Amino acid sequence: MNPLTVLKIGGNVIDNPTALTRFLTLFSTLAGDRLLVHGGGKVATEVARKLGVETTMVDGRRITDKAMLDVVTMVYGGLVNKQIVSQLQVLDCNAIGLTGADAGVIKAQKRPVTTIDYGFVGDIIEIDSGRIQSFTRENMVPVFAPLTFAETGDLLNTNADTLASAIAVDMIFHNDVTLVYCFEKKGVLANPDDESSVIGQLTPAQYADHKTAGTVNKGMIPKLDNAFAALSAGVKRVIICHADEVPAALSGTAGTTLTL
């Protein structure tokens, strides 16, 4: 099977035009089939503020009421997605910007209300990996905004880390898949305040120890949960690295490689 690299870009890189351009330049030079998933939370928060829409977060996750859904649809599916696609086109990378609703590729259901009502947040239930492969076969690079759709026709805000993991898992039926999470950190750090303390390889047991010690916390936990879930489901390789070091991480000389 052909190799496929699924990259998720997020963190402060999305908010920094210079850092984003550096990343996209590197991304455009990667060999083989590629697919990009992006976040954009801070941009959405700033646009919401300008529009007078209140932002509510619970444990780092956005509560998406109808007003916030309109904001994230505009920002994720419009502003951020199309800026990325436009830059990739200039770099001779034939990108196509997508949400899960486009071509019906990612169906979700509205998250059930338990102790917290997350609003219009989607939990993925089905991915049309064959349709995604049809884009890559035509030498197009899919660029996914973190939006899915429900049978009701509603768009749903879906966590970008989860989206990247789910796409990677579904694509293993067509490709040998490598999943890369990249952001402004050099990988998983043994000391969060020391960028030189990158953990070269991380196992589930080591991950559990770091969580207990508190060295891995906050937003890194759901990222690693999704990463290990993808690896357990058959994704060939999962890497966490700095956006500037993707080629080096893919060659095994940078970042954190997850192993079971």
- Binding-site residue set: 40-41, 62, 157
* Residue 25 CA from chain centroid, whole number: 18
Comparing CA positions, the residue from 200, 211, 203 lying closest to residue 254 is 200
Q: How far apart are CA 38 and CA 8, in angstroms?
A: 6
Comparing CA positions, the residue from 190, 194, 142 lying closest to residue 164 is 142
E strand or H helix at 214? none
Length of the chain (residues): 260
Sheet holding 33-38, edge to edge: 95-98, 141-144, 33-38, 2-9, 175-183, 237-242, 256-258, 201-202
Comparing CA positions, the residue from 60, 62, 65, 135 lying closest to residue 97 is 135
Q: What's the half-sphere exposure (Cβ side, CA atoms, 13 Å) at 208?
A: 4
| Binding residue positions for substrate | 40-41, 62, 157
Local structure of 194: helix, strand or coil: coil
Q: Residue with structure tokens 């646009």?
A: 47
Q: How far apart are CA 107 and CA 158, in angstroms?
A: 11
- In sign, the C-alpha dihedral spanning 244, 250, 256, 258 is positive
